Chain A
Amino acid sequence: MADTDFDIQYVANLARIALTPDEEAKLGHQLGDILGYVKKLEELDVTGVEPMAHAVPLANVLRADEVRPSIPQEAALANAPKQANGLFIVPKIVE
Chain B
Amino acid sequence: MEYETVIGLETHVQLKTKSKMFCGCVNLFGSEPNTNVCPVCLGMPGVLPVPNERAMQLTALAGYLLNCEVPGFAKFDRKNYFYPDASKDYQITQFDFPSTTTGHVDFEFGGGIERVRITRAHIEEDVGKSNHFAQHSGVDFNRAGVPLLEIVSEPDLRSADMAYEYLNALKEILIYGGISDCDMEKGMVRCDVNISVRPIGAEELGVKVEIKNMNTFSGMRRAINYEVPRQIETLESGGTLVQETRRWDDIAGITESMRTKEQAHDYRYFPEPDIMPLKPDEAWLTEVRSHIVELPLARKQRFVRDYGIPAQDADVFVGNVALGGFFEKAVEGAKNTKAIANWVINNLQARLIETGTTVDELKFEPAAIRELVGIIDAGTISSKGGQEVFAELFENGGSPVVIVESKGLAQVSESGELEKWCQDAIDSNPGPADDYRNGKENAINFLKGQVMKASRGKANPQVVGETLAKLLKG
Chain A residues proximal to chain B, CB less than 8 Å: 14, 16, 53-54, 56, 58-73, 76-77, 82, 84-95
Contact = CB atoms under 8 A, between A and B. Distances in A.
Nearest to B131: A87
B156 to A, nearest CB: 28
A90 B35 contact: no
B191 interface: no
B19 A65 contact: yes
Contacts of A63: 24, 50-53
Contacts of A54: 75, 271, 273, 276-277
B255 to A, nearest CB: 14
B52 A60 contact: no
Contacts, number: 130
B454 to A, nearest CB: 68
15 contacts: A16-B82, A60-B278, A63-B24, A63-B52, A65-B53, A66-B19, A66-B24, A68-B23, A88-B84, A91-B137, A92-B132, A92-B134, A92-B135, A94-B132, A95-B247
A88 B34 contact: yes
Interface string B29-51: 00011111111001000000011
A7 to B, nearest CB: 11
B280 A60 contact: yes
Contact of B17 (A14, A53, A65, A92): A65
A57 B338 CA distance: 60
Nearest to A15: B82
Given A91-B136, A92-B135, A73 B32 contact: yes
A71 B84 contact: no
B214 to A, nearest CB: 15
Interface of B: 17-19, 23-26, 32-39, 42, 50-56, 73, 75, 80, 82-84, 97, 130-141, 247, 258, 266, 268, 271, 273, 275-280, 284
A71 B19 contact: no
A62 B54 CA distance: 9
Contact of B37 (A16, A60, A76): A76
B51 A62 contact: yes
A53 to B, nearest CB: 4
B19 A87 contact: no
Given A65-B55, A70-B35, A87 B268 contact: no
A60 B24 CA distance: 18
B24 A58 contact: no
Contacts of A66: 18-19, 24
Nearest to B74: A53
B147 to A, nearest CB: 9
B154 to A, nearest CB: 27
A65 B75 CA distance: 19
Contacts of B34: 73, 76-77, 86-88
A90 B56 contact: no
Nearest to B55: A65
Given A54-B271, A60-B280, A95-B258, A90 B24 contact: no
B271 A53 contact: yes
A85 B53 CA distance: 34
B33 A85 contact: yes
A88 B138 contact: yes
Contact of B139 (A64, A68, A70, A87): A87
B11 to A, nearest CB: 20
B136 A70 contact: no
Given A66-B24, A71-B38, 6 more contacts: A54-B277, A58-B276, A67-B25, A70-B38, A92-B132, A92-B136
A57 to B, nearest CB: 9
A70 B20 CA distance: 11
A61 B33 contact: no
Nearest to B277: A53
Nearest to B73: A53
Chain A to chain B: the 5 pairs with minimum beta-carbon distance, closest first: A68-B24, A87-B138, A65-B54, A86-B33, A62-B53
A90 B136 CA distance: 6
